[in-house]
Amino acid sequence: MLTLKQIRDEREQTVARLAKKGVDAAPIIDRIVALDDRRKAIQQQLDGNLSEQNKIAKEIGGLFKSGKTDEANALKEKVAGLKEQSKALETEQADVISEMESLIVTLPNRPAEIVPEGKTAEDNLVVKMGGPEARQLKGEGILPHWELAKKYDIIDFELGNKLTGAGFPVYKGKGARLQRALINFFLDINTAAGFLEVEPPIMVNEASGFGTGQLPDKEGQMYHATVDNFYLIPTAEVPVTNIFRDEIVDEKQLPIRMTAYTPCFRREAGSYGKDVRGLNRLHQFDKVEIVQVAHPSDSYERLDEMVAHVEGIVQKLGLPYRILRLCGGDMSFTSALTYDFEVYSEAQDKWLEVSSVSNFESFQANRLKLRFRNAETKKTELAHTLNGSSLALPRIVAALLENNQTPEGIVIPEALRPYTGFDIIK
């Protein structure tokens, strides 16, 4: 969440930047500032009452010693009145703080200066294109991945629907082997680049959901185990970043790099239309994630490194790709700057998002109370957090199947063959 300094001391800048996300923050910020002023005034009153109580307590002792009982009792009544007043002030202060905090968490993160203006995905800025040129396969027998999956019996969407529902496919034979190969391939590349592999839980508590910004306003997008109040994770970002919740790390440890494979679960995946057919949009899917905890002074350098790292993985798969800088209106609640990776799907003749790489600056860290100790000042400061998909599997698989189909079968990219153990799906 935004800090009070960003809200109070950088009000105009905050209002202007949040306007990029389509948020009119001025009324909320003015209310937050008014509540913070009231909080400070109440605290001043409380401090004054306590100081006066301490002063009177000393006087009462002297009066009793001097035999001035009536005067001492009168002062005791005054102390009782001050305590009663302080109790009422403390109740008001708690209400003020509660309202102020509930308003602060409704404000999204401020977009970085270079975030393009825009309201929808159509306004995103293409910053780079790469990989082989799209072949634009044509002619009879060119199939979308859901038909290829059926033809080669590698993914069963109907069986998944029987077992659970739409958006829960069953991978079979070489389809299952391809999934496992991609996961191991991605993890090996990440660990070779210095990311520590972890295997986190796939269910998290409410505090973890709040820490990375999924709660309190995105409950409807997450599967909720109500009896235990646990949430199935929408991404490994949630448990991995929360490893550092309520922690103070040594400045020398930064940057901290971690990677994890997890299944991911999203209720809002949708279930109708061609854009959600097959693997295009699922309720359960596999993804490998990278996370960084970085120093504020170089977090954007780390972001550039992560973008280059993900680009390297996509290049190894031999897929046409493009990198987009998201406009304000298409960014997530928590992001300050996001780059999306899309791969071209030959049979569908469309671009499919396979990764988002984001810098959250101190937004998540403030919610997490994730700090580092400055080596020079010995004071604690909020760290910056970053994450990225490297990569999400479903649309990668869709593009691999569609782009590599031949009359003989689906050719496996050379870089993947040591992991699959086969070079073609026949």
* 219 is known to lie in a ligand binding site: no
* 385 is known to lie in a ligand binding site: no
Cβ–Cβ < 8 Å for 103, 46? no
CA distance 334 to 372: 20
* 353 is known to lie in a ligand binding site: yes
If DSSP codes are grouped into helix, strand and coil, which group holds residue 259?
strand
Half-sphere exposure of 94 (CA within 13 A, CB side): 6
Cβ–Cβ < 8 Å for 255, 302? yes
Beta pairing partners, 171? 155
Nearest Cα residue to 397 out of 45, 207, 157: 157
The b-or-e profile of 123-149 (16+ CB within 10 A means b, else e) is ebeeeeeebeebeeeeeeeebbbbbbb
* 268 is known to lie in a ligand binding site: yes
Q: Which DSSP letter does residue 345 get?
A: E
* 408 is known to lie in a ligand binding site: no
* 238 is known to lie in a ligand binding site: no
Q: Is 278 left (phi over 0), alpha (psi -120 to 50) or beta?
A: left
* 54 is known to lie in a ligand binding site: no
Rounded alpha-carbon distances, angstroms, from residue 154 to 178, 237, 294, 395: 9, 29, 41, 15
CA distance 97 to 111: 26
* 147 is known to lie in a ligand binding site: no
Q: Which DSSP letter does residue 223 get?
A: -
* 235 is known to lie in a ligand binding site: yes
Nearest Cα residue to 154 out of 168, 174, 177, 169: 174
Structural Rg of the chain based on CA atoms: 28
User: How many separate helices (H) and strands (E) can be counted in the chain?
Assistant: 13, 19
Q: Which two tokens stand for residue 301?
A: 């350098």
Distance of CA 412 to the CA centre of its chain: 32
* 387 is known to lie in a ligand binding site: yes
Binding residues: 235, 266-268, 289, 353-356, 387
Binding residues for L-serine: 235, 266, 289, 387
Binding residues for ATP: 266-268, 353-356
